Amino acid sequence: MSLNSKDKEIVKIFFTKIGARGGDIGAEALARTLMVYPQTKTYFSHWSDLSMTSPHVRKHGGVIFNGVMDAVSKMSDLKAGLLNLSELHAFMLRVDPANFRLFINNVHIVLAITFAADYNPEIHVSVDKFLNRVALALSEKYR
């Protein structure tokens, strides 16, 4: 699915609405990813607490989602805009790129819960296209 100009505008407007809540959304999405997909825990085995209230999970979830928020401003060229993050995840962290999609699934759940009145099918599909483009850009250096 291509991310057209209408999708980009919808994403920009919706992510503006997310604003300062991005850290909480990222934290909850990461916590859900760790709970629902146990294989993702291997990257965080040095953390004793992987719950939703864990300071490590909250902080790292916020960092992840801040990266997603930053990607909104790089929508015109996500591959170039996320090159450093792609290299970091591929070469240093060695994160399985399948985990990006697992995280996306949980972002959708958290957005639907947090913005129940606003997260309609049109916004959902535009955000999904965008997040999948982000995942694809982050996976670029794995090829």
Q: What is the pLDDT along the chain (143 residues), one digit of tens a residue?
A: 689 999 999 999 999 999 999 999 999 999 999 999 999 999 898 999 999 899 999 999 999 999 999 999 999 999 989 889 888 877 887 888 899 999 999 999 999 999 999 999 999 999 999 999 999 998 888 76
CA pair distance 49, 44, nearest whole angstrom: 9
Residue 24, both tokens:
């909480």
pTM above 0.75, yes or no: yes
CB atoms within 10 A of CB 73: 10
SS3 at position 112:
helix
* Residue 138, phi then psi, degrees to nearest 5: -70, -25
* Domains present along the chain, CATH in parentheses: 5-142 (1.10.490.10)
For position 143, what pLDDT does the model report? 66
Q: How far is residue 16's CA from residue 84's CA, in Å, rounded to a whole number?
A: 24
Q: What is the pLDDT of residue 83?
A: 85
Token representation of residue 53: 């209230």
